[in-house]
Amino acid sequence: MKNILQKMGVSSNLLSQEEQDFLRENGYLNLGKLLDNASLQVVRNRVNEILEEEGDNAGAELMQSPSIKHPKESGASRLGDLVNKGAAFDIFYTHPKVMAAIRLVLGEQFKLSSLNYRAALPGAGLQKLHVDWPESIQNQEFMVCNSIWLLDDFYIENGATRVVPGTHLKPTLPAEVMNDPMDSHPDEKIIVAEAGSVVIFNSHTWHGGTTNHSTQPRRAIHSYFCKRDQVQQTDQRKYIKKSTLDRISKEAAFILGLEEGE
């Protein structure tokens, strides 16, 4: 896989030593604004088109996945299988700096697990503190890692994601040590960042959405990765379209788990 990543422009020097250390120690990292305003608007427009096209069936692929625990949320709108819904989404699993951060957490043998959209609606969005793996991890053999691409500014009032730094290194899960994981944690940090930014989450780090007290949805795309030997949340072999394969590179297909590589 090293050759695949090199062809995609992925190298360790895309992350500064400070960024690498922060991600290792805290379990998350804001990579800054990776989508310029023009690209951001293209993505927003395409999301709006899909929401209109799919209507009540929006997010149906999430319901069909045996690997997604909570495919439907009251107070959140969802879309699934964005891999097959337009070229605007290709960057979400091919951006070199994002791939470099995912590799830092998971090692070289990883693939995309799912590419989904989530919007916390006004008055909703609160999630319990949780991790995205059923048990705590020993020896830092991390299995899953998420990248959250902000389609809107994230700030306290609109229900930005909270994270408890360093908890990916703990031998316990939130439900094991908190009376109520819906409560605030004394060490939690709220992710405040501008639209177009990408935040990497080691998915073993305790995290969750907060309540959106604004009058607008808080929108994001989740590009979620897993170790290469794990089951994908969205089975790309089942869903992949010929038009998608014709569009993307062999390296991108490899990240989707569809091609063999070195």
pLDDT digits (tens, 9 = 90+) for 39-48: 999 999 999 9
pLDDT the model gives residue 138? 82
Tens of pLDDT, residues 194-236: 999 999 999 999 999 999 999 999 999 999 999 999 999 999 9
Using one digit for the tens of pLDDT, what is the confidence trace for 82-138? 999 999 999 999 999 999 999 999 999 999 999 999 999 999 999 999 999 999 988
pTM of the model: 0.95
Positive or negative CA dihedral for 141, 63, 182, 191?
Answer: positive
pLDDT at 72 over 70: no
- The rounded percent of the chain whose pLDDT value lies above 70 is 97
Mean pLDDT of the chain: 95
